Amino acid sequence: MAVVGQALRAEWVKIRSVRSTVWTLGTAVVVTVLLGVVICTLARRDFDAMPDERRLAFDPTNISFAGMGLGQLAMIVFGVLVVSNEYSTGMIRASLAAVPQRGVFLFCKLLVATALVFVVGLATSFLTFFVGQAALGEHRAHLSDPGVLRAVVGGALYMMMIALFSMAVATMLRSPMLSLGILMPFFFLISNILGNVSATRRIGRYLPDQAGSKIMQVVAPVNDETPYGPWGGFGIMAAWTAAALLVGYLLLNKRDA
């Protein structure tokens, strides 16, 4: 237990001492909140001009998280940097010498980073919700409405899982450029294409970001054929993350530093 405590403190020091990781989290907060306010303001202005079908499917809670798409970009970068910085600087050799049990080393790193992301994500999610609902005016939702609190907390869980998945991929690949070169197209190109093309939509809905984002949804879209609910989608995202973590751990245990 003493080793675990020391490893946790060491990982906390590493994260605090690297400016890029701190700035990345700050960027995630600012981008998510500001873009959410802008989209909510535009939605309020356009609400009266919406067709009746779109009004019935209007989800004021989910629309306040419109900035989450760009916010997750910063979380991906954070997750990659937390792991790959040690490889690019060569610090990984010293870290593994100090904590030779690689499972303990990886667990402590992921635990500290994930806890930090969840706290930041929770604050961001609540701030985004309240500011966004203020911008929506009379079309706003309330935290006490059915499903709203789950969606707001779900926003933090979603950001946490995106970062954790990115950390798992970075553990597998070790290189920051290679990790980002795979994750960015995966989330921002491949996922969007598969999710928006009718022939591949059934595949796209099982990708981690599309499935996980379901937890931030309160009102289902018109003609929604998704075969799972908010927690089912989050479960799919968690399964992707668990599989990536398992592969990352096996590779870390097998390879030299």
List, in order, residues 6 or more apart from 115 with CB less than 8 Å away: none
- Which of 207, 181, 183, 176 has its CA nearest to residue 72? 183
Strand segments (E) across 52-203: none
pLDDT given for residue 45 in this prediction: 87
Range of the domain at 191: 2-254
pLDDT given for residue 1 in this prediction: 59
List, in order, residues 6 or more apart from 186 with CB less than 8 Å away: none
Query: Domains in the chain: how many in total?
Result: 1
**What does the pLDDT look like over 93-114, one tens digit per residue?**
888 888 888 888 889 999 999 9
Instruction: Map residue 226 onto helix, strand or coil.
Output: coil
Kindly report the average pLDDT of the chain as a whole number: 88
Strand segments (E) across 126-244: none
Range of lowest pLDDT (117-121, 179-183, 184-188, 233-237): 184-188
